[in-house]
Structure formats: C-alpha cells, structure tokens
Structure 1
Amino acid sequence: MKIIAAVVNGVNEEYVLEELTLGELYSDEVIVKMVATGICQSDEALRVGAEAYPMPAVLGHEGAGIIEKVGSAVKDFAVGDQVVMAYNYCGTCPSCRTGHPAVCTEWAALNFSGNRSDGSYTFYKADGTPVSNFFTQSSFATYTITNSKNLIKVDPEADLRLIGPLGCGLLTGFGTVVNGLQPQTGSSIAIFGTGAVGLGALMTAKIVGCSTIIAIDIHNSRLETASELGATHTINSKTENLQERIDEITGGRGVNYSIDTTGISSIMKASIDILALGGSFAPLAVKPNSLELKPFTDLIMSNRKVVGVLMGDSVPQLAIPQLIQYHKQGKFPFDKFVKFYKFNEFNQAAADSNSGETIKPVIIIDESYRSRNDEPLIVFNKYFN
C-alpha cells in the first residue's frame, strides 16, 4: 500500500513529504487512516538530535484517525472505528498487570527502537530502504500501521481533528498531577513552562482542587493563556524575581508541588528550591540536561521528593475518554491553545512551536474529514489558517 509521510532523513533535517510503502500487517495490528496529529516536543527532540534515534524515520505520536483494516487477532476494534493513538506496552509484565503500562518492562523497545521486535519495519522507501517508526505509531503519515494496544476507541461524534494531542502531551500533564504528584485539595503548585504539557497539568490542578496555581514562563502571551485556563498567579521569570514572587504568593512557605517542562538545568534546580517542607517536584522535559543538587540539604533536610513520571503514569484507554469528557464539560478546554496546519506545513508548524508562537500545533492530514458534531467543527474553522 502506497502512502505519503513526513520523513526525517537525518539529524536536524527538515520534514520531507515522501511516498512510502506500508509493510506487512501483523495479526495484532491495524491500519489507520490518519485524520490529524499533534506535533510534540518529543518529536522535535528526536528530529534535532537531542535524543538519538535511527534515521530515516516517520515521527509523530499524537495521532487520531479511522481504522482502515484490522489484523486477524484484533478483537476489540473494527473497520470504521474512530481512534486516538497513544503508546504501546506488552500487557503481561508486572508493571502492566498492576496498572502501570507506562513503565512496562518492554516500553523502550516497543516505542523507541524504530522497528518491531523481530526486526521488521512498517515503512519502506521505493528502493527498499527501511524507515523507522515511532511509538509503534508514526502518525505523520496518511496511513500507518499500529498495534491494537496503542488504540483508544472514541465516540463517533468526537472530532478527530482536535483530540490527537490527548495521546501524549496533554495525557502527560494530566497524569503527572493525578497519578504522580497527587496534590491535596487546597494545596499549591508551580508549573514551569506553559506549553501543552504545562497547561495540561495546570488545567488538571484546577480540576483536582489546588487553590494556588502558579504559571511561570518568559512569554506574556502564554501567561495570559494560563490565566484564562485557571492559573491564580503568573510569573514572567525573565522580568520578575522568581524567589521573591514565590515568597510573596505563599507567605514565604514555598509551594507544595512543582513541575518543570523546560528541561533547563537552572530551572529544574529552581523548581526544587521553591518547594515547601515536604514538597514534591516532577521533571518532565525530554532534554539531555542534568540536574545538580546536594541530596542532604536540597532534599533530606526538607523532606522533599523528586518524582519521575513517564507519560503521566496513565492508562491511556482510561484517561483519554475521561479527558474528552472533561473537555465536553468545559473543564479541560485545550482547544484554546491549538492551532491547525495543513499536511504540507510540518516545517512551519515545528518552527512556530519552537519559537513559542504556537503552543500546540496540529496537522490536518485528511481535510475531507467532517465531524458529526457541529460544535468542534466551529472550533476547527475558527483556528484553522
């Protein structure tokens, strides 16, 4: 089957639309006709070489589409189902069996190896050159092969042009709050970086009852968005003294929880320094930078904790339908920071995301798609350029 995909052929190279051939469909897999996909900072980290990945590759891991074909062993999905795609997991290891598939023992191999466990690929160039996939998903394509465990079936009325980002960035922000940090009602939280992950965490902090929600960024426009979405306070760390403002807001006690989405070493350290006694910090960025600290003075003496949370420690098949419901109820209005791009605008979308101009770029792959629900269609028309 011939398809078109946005291929990255080498480190720091631009996306190039190329015709590829889909490989063999395995019994536990499906072919999905892509409708739309978010671009995540993890995609950019691989494209620019911040994290090593086998090239050429088709990236993308915030995809939404319609099932075109199912493998012989797939029982819970059918042709025509609307789906969002997330990460893959084995389903049988102790982590998966206890409800933590994001720390599946096979997670790295399944999502970051670029091929199947038997060494085969899902994409090939015309000359036979194999092309790596990503997250067993590779949503930057008109059609893709993915494992049935990657899939979350959604309501037929859900607008697939909007909900792809729930598969990674927003899922991570949501899960980091509810599963990783588990803040108490009335507690305080500071979030460094108001991109999609940070804003996902911010909206969730409001849902779970944090009374003090502090958004920190260097872009006033993003801080304004954060205020609209529930931040009780904002700090521009480029023009304001961070520690003084935190002391002012918290009465000198510090915050109970902090999240960093920037991956900048000095900011990660600041995320710990502003914690109250017994506070917890979650670093989330996919960056190669290190965090230097003195465990006794920075953590032990203050009973502070650093919490690692991959993919929000979320079960996508449970969390994503919940997030869709929160969106319908107006509690998780992520459409306020989505901007849509055409299929041939991958490089522009990535550049706008990197510059801070766009918080969450979404590529519309199938412009002929129409939702059954008029309201999301209005959202689409409002934001599409």
Structure 2
Amino acid sequence: MQMKAALSRGPRSSFSLETVELDHPRPDEVVVRIVATGLCHTDLFAKSTLPAAMGPAVFGHEGAGVVEEVGALVEDISPGDHVVLSYRHCGACRQCRGGHPAYCERAQQLNSSGRRPDGSTTITQNGGEVRAAFFGQSSFAEYVVATADNVVVVDKSVDLTLAAPFGCGFQTGAGAVLNVLAPDADSTVVIFGAGSVGFAALLAARASGVATLCAVDTVPARRALAEDFGAVALDPATQDVVAEIRDLTGGGATHTLDTTGIPAVIGQAVSVLRERGTAVVVGLGAPDVTVNIQDLMRKGKTLRGCIEGDSSVRSFIPRLLALHADGKFPVDQLVTRYPFTDIDRAVADQTSGSVVKPVLVW
C-alpha cells in the first residue's frame, strides 16, 4: 500500500513528507489508518541519536486511528474499531508474566530495532528498506502495521486527536504517579519539568487528592498553567528551588518526579525529599547522575526509574480515559493540533516550550 510518511534522513535533518510503501500485514498484525499522532520527546531523542548512515526512518509512537484490516490470528480487534497505539511487549517473559510489560525483556528489539522481530521491515521506499516499526507502529504515517499487544480499543465517542498522547506521554506521567509513587491526600508532590509528561503527572496527583503540589519549570506560560491546575509554580532560573520546596512542604517533599533527564535537576529531586521520600525519574537525558548516597541511606530515601508509567496499556489507558471523561484528568488544555504537513513547526514549537503537547493530524 502506498502512503505518505514523515521521513527522517539524519539527526539534524528536517522531517520530509514522502511517499512510501507499507507492507502487507502478517497473520498476527493489524493495519491502522492513523487519525492523529502525538509528538513526543522520545521521537526527537531517537531521531537525534540515529546516524544518517543507518538510512531513512519513520518515528512516531503515540498513534491513534481506525482499524482497516486484521490478520487471521488476531482476536478482540476488528475492522472499524477505534484504537490508541502504545508500546510493544512480548507477553511471555518474566516481566510480562509478572504484570510489568513496560519492562519486557525484549523491549529493545520490539520497540527500537527498526524492524519486525524476524528482521523484516514494515515500510520500504523504491525497493529500499526504511527503519520503521518504532514502538510497534511508526505512526508519523498515514497507515501503520501494528500488533495486538500494542493496540488498545477505545469507545468510538473518544476524540482520537486528544487520545493519541495517552499511548505514551500522558500514561508515562500519570502512571509514574498512580502506579509507582501512589501518593495520598497528605502527600507533598513536586514535579520537575512541566511538559506533557509533567502535566499528566500533576493532574494525576490532583486526581488522587494531593493537596500540596509544586511544578518547577523555566517557561512562564507553563508555570501559569500549573498554577491554574492548583500547583505552586517555581522558576529554577530565578529561585532557590530546594529552599523554596523545603519551605513549602514543611521540610521536604514526600514524592518527586523528574521529567527533564538533567543530572543536576535529578539531584535536586532527590535532595528535596524528606525522610523515606521517593523520587522517580522518567526523562531521557544524560546517562550518568551524581547522587549523595549518604543522604539517600541516612534518610531512607528511594530513587527509582520508571518506563511508560509502569502500566499495562489495555487496562491503564481506559482508566485514564475514564478519568478524563469524568473531568478529573483535563488534558484538553495541554494539546495543540497541527496538520501533518506542519510537523517541523510542531517540533520547533515543542522545543521552544511555546506549546505543551503537539498532536499531528491527517
């Protein structure tokens, strides 16, 4: 099938909307016509680290659309279903069997290899391979080949443009709070980085009844929005964040979340914890971070990572959509829509911080 896709031809290249060929689905695969795809920092991070010599690639891993075709072995998914796409997992390894598919032992192969597990590609151009199957989808395209394990059927009343980011960004932030930090009404929660992941975390904490919320970000518009959502907003460029948080929380936060991936900020997220507090990191960034182990040990603090909100997508995405339908997860204010032809403008706006969550629409 011929279709349009936004190709990346190198880490510093713009995206280019070009005609490519989508492979026929295998018996265990699903073809989805994409309605909308969220633009995520992970897409840009992956693009920036893939050498041009590796050839063209199609990214995109927050797709939502309508099922066009299903393979003979696919159950519980039918043509015409409205779906949100998320990450792939094998379903058979120890982590998947234990209820933690985000930590699937085959996650790298299934989500980031650029090919199907058998080595074939789902997209070609003029007979040449295109790196695709990103998170089992590569949804910067009009159509994708996905599999049952990363397809979540949603009610047809759901706005797919709004639902697309639930496949990664929104579930990452919300899941880090609801599934990992699990704060209660007496908790004090601080979010470092008020992007789409950070705001999803903030809204999830608010939905959990947390009264003391704080968001740390350098962008004035994002701090203003955080205040609209009931959080105290701090500017790390002009304020002593650690001192301000300790004063706000009466000595230290019970829970912190870093979405920035910046080592110094992660250090702050740990430093501002009170005794037995927990810091979770979800941001992609530098691989090495310096942490005061004496502080961690003496105060019984916890520092842990989290991928995809530690969620099982077929139960967690509907849970978040239900919270949204009840008015308890108002992510509508985070989304800015762009036609797919304006993908580079969406990237620029996200990078500058002028929008929180760009969503590309066909």
Query: Are the counterparts in 1 of residues 11 and 50 from structure 2 also a CA contact under 8 Å?
Result: no
Query: Are the counterparts in 2 of residues 202 and 230 from structure 1 also a CA contact under 8 Å?
Result: no
Q: Which amino acid aligns with 1:173?
A: G
Q: Which amino acid aligns with 2:193?
A: G
Q: Which amino acid aligns with 1:287?
A: G
Give the structure 1 partner of residue 241 of structure 2.
Answer: 242
Give the structure 1 partner of residue 317 of structure 2.
Answer: 320
Deviations 1:329-384 (A, max 9, x none): 1111111011000110110001100000111000011xxxxxxxxxxxxxxxxxxx
1:100-115 matched pairs, under 5 angstroms: 100-115=100-115
Deviations 1:102-154 (A, max 9, x none): 01111111011110111100000113233333101111000111111110000
Query: Are the counterparts in 1 of residues 6 and 140 from structure 2 also a CA contact under 8 Å?
Result: yes
TM-score by length of 2: 0.97
Q: Which amino acid aligns with 1:331?
A: K
Aligned-partner Cα distance in 1 for 2:55–2:213: 41
SS in 2 for 1:213: strand
Query: Are the counterparts in 2 of residues 136 and 147 from structure 1 also a CA contact under 8 Å?
Result: yes
Query: Are the counterparts in 2 of residues 11 and 55 from structure 1 also a CA contact under 8 Å?
Result: no
Match of 1:342 among 339, 343, 360: 339
Query: Are the counterparts in 1 of residues 58 and 130 from structure 2 also a CA contact under 8 Å?
Result: no
Give the structure 2 partner of residue 73 of structure 1.
Answer: 73
Query: Are the counterparts in 2 of residues 260 and 282 from structure 1 also a CA contact under 8 Å?
Result: yes
Deviations 1:236-274 (A, max 9, x none): 1111111221122122x1000111111111111111111
SS in 2 for 1:163: helix
SS in 2 for 1:330: coil
Structure 2: gaps of 5 or more residues: none
Give the structure 1 partner of residue 326 of structure 2.
Answer: 329
SS in 2 for 1:109: helix
Query: Are the counterparts in 2 of residues 168 and 311 from structure 1 also a CA contact under 8 Å?
Result: yes
Cα 1:223–1:52, aligned 2, differ >3 Å: closer, same or farther?
A: farther
Query: Are the counterparts in 2 of residues 8 and 47 from structure 1 also a CA contact under 8 Å?
Result: yes
Match of 2:278 among 264, 277, 280: 280
Aligned-partner Cα distance in 1 for 2:338–2:43: 16
Cα 1:58–1:9, aligned 2, differ >3 Å: closer, same or farther?
A: same
SS in 1 for 2:80: coil
Query: Are the counterparts in 1 of residues 29 and 70 from structure 2 also a CA contact under 8 Å?
Result: yes
SS in 2 for 1:64: strand
How far off its partner does 1:99 sit?
A: 1.2
Give the structure 1 partner of residue 192 of structure 2.
Answer: 192
Query: Are the counterparts in 1 of residues 10 and 50 from structure 2 also a CA contact under 8 Å?
Result: no
Aligned-partner Cα distance in 2 for 1:129–1:324: 36
Query: Are the counterparts in 2 of residues 34 and 141 from structure 1 also a CA contact under 8 Å?
Result: yes
Query: Are the counterparts in 2 of residues 20 and 125 from structure 1 also a CA contact under 8 Å?
Result: yes
Structure 1: gaps of 5 or more residues: 366-385
Give the structure 1 partner of residue 12 of structure 2.
Answer: 12
Give the structure 1 partner of residue 305 of structure 2.
Answer: 308
Q: Which amino acid aligns with 1:242?
A: V
Cα 1:160–1:148, aligned 2, differ >3 Å: closer, same or farther?
A: same
Give the structure 1 partner of residue 124 of structure 2.
Answer: 124
Give the structure 2 partner of residue 136 of structure 1.
Answer: 136
How far off its partner does 1:84 sit?
A: 0.3
1:179-218 matched pairs, under 5 angstroms: 179-218=179-218
Q: Which amino acid aligns with 1:279?
A: G
Give the structure 2 partner of residue 84 of structure 1.
Answer: 84
For the pair 1:147 / 2:144, whether they are aligned, the reply is no
1:11-50 matched pairs, under 5 angstroms: 11-49=11-49
For the pair 1:171 / 2:171, whether they are aligned, the reply is yes
Query: Are the counterparts in 2 of residues 125 and 131 from structure 1 also a CA contact under 8 Å?
Result: no
Aligned-partner Cα distance in 2 for 1:175–1:337: 17
SS in 1 for 2:89: coil
Query: Are the counterparts in 2 of residues 229 and 333 from structure 1 also a CA contact under 8 Å?
Result: no
How many percent identity over aligned positions? 38
Aligned-partner Cα distance in 2 for 1:149–1:133: 13
- Of 237-246 and 264-273, deviating more is 237-246
TM-score by length of 1: 0.91
Q: Which amino acid aligns with 2:340?
A: F
- Of 169-178 and 91-100, deviating more is 91-100
Query: Are the counterparts in 2 of residues 282 and 309 from structure 1 also a CA contact under 8 Å?
Result: yes
Aligned-partner Cα distance in 1 for 2:147–2:55: 21
Aligned-partner Cα distance in 2 for 1:178–1:146: 27
Cα 1:146–1:255, aligned 2, differ >3 Å: closer, same or farther?
A: same
Give the structure 2 partner of residue 373 of structure 1.
Answer: none
For the pair 1:254 / 2:252, whether they are aligned, the reply is yes
Residues matched between the structures, number: 362
Query: Are the counterparts in 2 of residues 7 and 58 from structure 1 also a CA contact under 8 Å?
Result: yes
How far off its partner does 1:181 sit?
A: 1.3
Query: Are the counterparts in 1 of residues 133 and 145 from structure 2 also a CA contact under 8 Å?
Result: no
- Of 178-187 and 11-20, deviating more is 178-187
